[in-house]
């Protein structure tokens, strides 16, 4: 079986408010079709730059990779 990185997704979690109990309300901004070969540090920098354009404060940056498993012939 061969592993093939097929795509990555960048997720920015932002704080959009506070509930009556005082806990934070979070929302996720998702950017799809990111090149899976992009280094983690470069993707983090991209996430920070996109977050700077947001009205809401950034809580965390997440990366989700999709990998396809291919059976060798």
Which pLDDT belongs to residue 3?
87
Q: Residue 29 corresponds to which tokens in the numbers above?
A: 């901004």
| Calpha distance 48→57 (Å, rounded) | 11
Render pLDDT for 27-52 as a digit per residue (tens, 0 to 9).
999 999 999 999 999 999 999 999 99
* Whether 51 contacts 59, CB under 8 Å: no
- Confidence category of residue 73, pLDDT binned at 50, 70, 90: confident
Higher pLDDT, 73 or 9: 9
What's the pTM value of the predicted model, to 2 decimals?
Answer: 0.83
Q: What is the mean pLDDT of residues 3-16?
A: 94
DSSP letter for 10, please.
Answer: E
Question: Which of 13, 4, 63, 7 is CA-nearest to residue 35?
Answer: 7
Instruction: Return all residues near 19 (Cβ < 8 A) that are at least 6 apart.
Output: 25
């Amino acid at each position: 079986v061969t592993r093939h990185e097929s795509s990555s997704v960048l997720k920015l979690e932002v704080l959009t408010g506070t509930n009556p109990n005082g806990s934070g309300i979070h929302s996720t901004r998702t950017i799809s079709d990111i090149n899976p070969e992009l280094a983690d540090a470069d993707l983090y920098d991209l996430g920070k730059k996109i977050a700077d354009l947001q009205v809401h404060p950034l809580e965390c940056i997440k990366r989700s990779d999709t990998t396809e498993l291919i059976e060798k012939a």
